[in-house]
Amino acid sequence: MTSGIEFAHVPVMVDEIVAAFVGVPAGFVLDATLGGGGHSEALLGADDQRSILGVDRDAAALAAAGERLARFGDRFRASHRRFDDIDGAMAETSVDELSGALFDLGVSSHQFDAVERGFSYRASAPLDMRMDARDAVSARDLVNESDESELVRILRDYADERFATRIARAIVAARPIDDTTRLADVVAAAIPAPARRRGGHPAKRTFQALRIAVNGELDVLPVALDHAIGRTVKGGRIAVLSYHSGEDRIVKERFRFHSTGGCQCPSHLPCGCGAERTVKLVRVPSKPSAAEMERNPRSTSARLRVAEVI
């Protein structure tokens, strides 16, 4: 480390990710969620025919990864943007085609640990949660300006929160709420005492849901997967690590769509609709090993899916 940029994030299922890209055509793999560059470093180190186009919407991640990967020279190029703008990233870095893409969804440990960014319920900070500081809407805006039914929808859709109605009502009654610990206290008080004592911090799901809403995380994912598949050469692979059911459902659905071409012909008959399949699903370990889960509890909820362009 030369500039003192600290970026603490342990990459998940690194060996499985490196294995997923063995044998894919030489060239650029898009690391759509560069973070601290842990996965990219492993991919670049494993194969000298491999280059990486790293994308992240978080300027701090790009700075840290740029430093970590500088020794790979022109084999590493980076672009600061959202991962659904793959064409923009390729044009900016003069990359014509992809050998594959990696999506390691969600937040990095660094984002949680940077208290002032407001992702964590564990320390007091302004309610922010924007991955990209250029974005207009923060968690503070959502918490203080959404009506109750919209808060219920966010809590249900993005975190399967059982107590969504109670929490939304409590938030509306307690406004204005500007601070992470104040929000965590309001949420904890809204949850019935027996439930509060089970299943981790009572505000964990609310913070997850707000973060996903603030950053539009699920809205951009299907588009990004479609574009990544469309820009990847034959034999290239798309690997996705997701961390909750809402993300995994989208990945499963888009991979199924591309692996069937949208064909709905009865399975006992030959396809007569002319659907074109663009990927095949690749069998890989879908979960981290028990040893990895033990070593890195953040990996426990990870699910890996891989598809190959045909």
Give the residues lining the site for ligand SAM (CB under 6 A): 9, 11, 33, 35-39, 55-58, 61, 82-83, 104, 106-108, 131, 217, 220
CB of 103 to ligand SAM, least distance (A): 8
CB of 270 to ligand SAM, least distance (A): 39
Length of the chain: 310
Q: Smaller CB distance to ligand SAM: residue 181 or 296?
A: 296
State the Cα–Cα distance between residues 302 and 172, nearest whole angstrom.
33
CB of 308 to ligand SAM, least distance (A): 21
Q: Which residues pair with 279 in a beta bridge?
A: 309
H or E, element range at 259: helix 245-260
CB of 18 to ligand SAM, least distance (A): 12
Q: End-to-end distance of the chain based on CA atoms, in angstroms? A: 41
Which DSSP symbol is given to 24? S
The two beta strands, 50-56 and 76-80, are parallel
Q: Is 176 exposed, middle or buried (0-12, 13-18, 19+ CB in 10 A)?
A: exposed
The two beta strands, 303-309 and 232-242, are antiparallel
CB of 191 to ligand SAM, least distance (A): 27
Q: Smaller CB distance to ligand SAM: residue 154 or 168?
A: 154
Q: Is 240 exposed, middle or buried (0-12, 13-18, 19+ CB in 10 A)?
A: buried
Q: Smaller CB distance to ligand SAM: residue 217 or 308?
A: 217
Q: Smaller CB distance to ligand SAM: residue 68 or 258?
A: 68
Q: Is 192 left (phi over 0), alpha (psi -120 to 50) or beta?
A: beta
Q: Smaller CB distance to ligand SAM: residue 64 or 187?
A: 64
Q: Smaller CB distance to ligand SAM: residue 36 or 202?
A: 36
Q: Smaller CB distance to ligand SAM: residue 38 or 246?
A: 38
CB of 224 to ligand SAM, least distance (A): 7
State the Cα–Cα distance between residues 8 and 5, nearest whole angstrom.
10
| Residue 157 identity | D
State the Cα–Cα distance between residues 261 and 239, nearest whole angstrom.
19
CB of 132 to ligand SAM, least distance (A): 8
